[in-house]
Amino acid sequence: MLRDLSDYPNDTIEAMFVRLANDTHADKIDLGIGVFRDDSGNVPVMQAVRRAERRLIGRDRSKSYLSPLGNIDYCRRVESLVLGADHPVLSGGRIVSAQTPGAGAALRAAAELVHGVSPGSAVWVSTPVWGHQIEFFEQAGMAVRTYRYYDRRGRNLDAEGMLEDLRSMRAGDVLLLHGCCHNPTGQDLSLDLWQAVAEVVVEVGAIPFVDVAYQGFGQGIEEDAEGVQRLAASVPEMLLTVSSSKSFGVYRDRAGLLSIILPPDSGNAGAVRRKLRDTLRQLYFMAPDHGAAIVHEILSTPELDALWRAELDAVRDRIIALRAELRMTIERANPGFDAGFIERQHGMFSCLPISHEEQLLMERQFHIYMLPPARVNVAAMNREQSRTLAEAFAWIRAQRGTARADAVA
Ligand code: PMP
């Protein structure tokens, strides 16, 4: 049956990880995978997570099935964490949620659900966007459209281009936005722009879909959620996915949220919940609980919640310091080059202004691995790697002549 599959190709992201795994150079640098690393290159486990795990084990909890909707207590806590406990959507009972095996599964399930109930809806994604996101929507059968988002030349948001493109959305189309720390650019919307987007969405009758994967990694736990909170208060309907992988460092435990925000007085929350339950069951049957139980334990235990917040603050402080350091080393190694965008942007990622060919050249010459489009995981670096990256960038610019280098989009 699978005889003809011998030349099945790697997708571009997986292909990079294969090249990285096959590289035997002792000091190869992995800036590809989206994990936070400490100075020794480890992916640390938070103390709040360790303590929550111990408490859960001590309680001898059941391992019986939940429902396809997963851990509902986790859902309530994460809804409040992202939207704020007093949000009108929560007090109005306008939200239907499920706990999923991470936000990846939540995105794929949301696409399946949307395509099932509204086959004519297209999804609009930013240019650029985290590559797997396109895959989730395409595999569900949805048409994928793109909107301008990041101006690589100016290394800033293309707000005008974005709004112009969004005005071409049709009623029932879905608009995918990143709640904070945009993947891959690190370039976030200003609060004014969140407002402008809300107005366009209401005007054209589109449905915003906010993916929150890095709450606490950008400007603060509360600050990072302000855009999504305001949008949810300004639109009748919305989709929301949340990842606990990064904010709690429970990547492999697979905990995420998928929420559907319903219009006021829609009266069909029960039917939506049943449709969501059945969609999830048809995709993967049941959710894992370990990660969700940990996150719930932390958020419902004041001392663990305080510890987690302090640990997440320290993660964010380190990322901000690494961004300042990288800006400085790049500017030092590249006199006249303005690397201010690295400090302006938020979260794990920023993109270097180099072409795909140059990214591959950097890989071969310096053993530095990034995801397209030259996405650097700043949160995975140490000082020495920051210097190597700055030198590699200078070398690339020298190869092609400085004048053209900075104009590359
Ligand atoms: N959304 C975004 C924007 C992401 O960057 C990621 C992970 N890279 C995810 C969702 C998926 O996260 P997870 O499935 O680990 O929760």
Q: Among 270, 253, 265, which residue's Cα sits nearest to residue 56?
A: 253
Contact status, residue 172 vs residue 202, Cβ threshold 8 Å = no
What is the atom index within ligand 1 of the atom nearest the CA of 107? 10
Q: What are phi and psi of 167, to 5 degrees?
A: -70, -15
Contact status, residue 20 vs residue 28, Cβ threshold 8 Å = yes
Quick one: CATH architecture of 63-300? Answer: 3-Layer(aba) Sandwich (3.40)
| CA 380 vs CA 1, 39, 116, 394: distances in Å | 42, 9, 39, 21
What is the predicted pLDDT for the residue at 409? 43
Low-confidence ranges of the chain (pLDDT < 50): 409
Q: Is 213 in the pocket of ligand 1 (CB under 6 A)?
A: yes
Q: Among 301, 189, 181, 304, which residue's Cα sits nearest to residue 245?
A: 181
What is the predicted pLDDT for the residue at 293? 98
* Strand ranges, E, within 9-50: 29-30
What is the predicted pLDDT for the residue at 67? 95
Contact status, residue 179 vs residue 173, Cβ threshold 8 Å = no
What is the predicted pLDDT for the residue at 4? 84
Query: Which numeric CATH code is attached to 10-44+305-406?
Result: 3.90.1150.10
Read off the amino acid at residue 43. V
Cα(95)–Cα(66) distance, integer angstroms = 20
Residue nearest to atom 6 of ligand 1 (CA): 213
10-44+305-406 matches 63-300 in fold: no
| pLDDT tens readout for residues 8-62 | 888 889 999 999 999 999 999 999 999 999 989 999 999 999 999 999 999 989 9
Give the predicted TM-score (pTM) of the model.
0.96
Q: Is 243 in the pocket of ligand 1 (CB under 6 A)?
A: yes
Q: Is 245 in the pocket of ligand 1 (CB under 6 A)?
A: yes
Domain limits of the chain?
10-44+305-406, 63-300
Q: Which residues are catalytic?
A: 130, 211, 213, 246
Burial state string for 205-228 with b = 16 or more CB within 10 A and e = fewer than 16: ebbbbbbbbbbbbbbbbeebbbbb
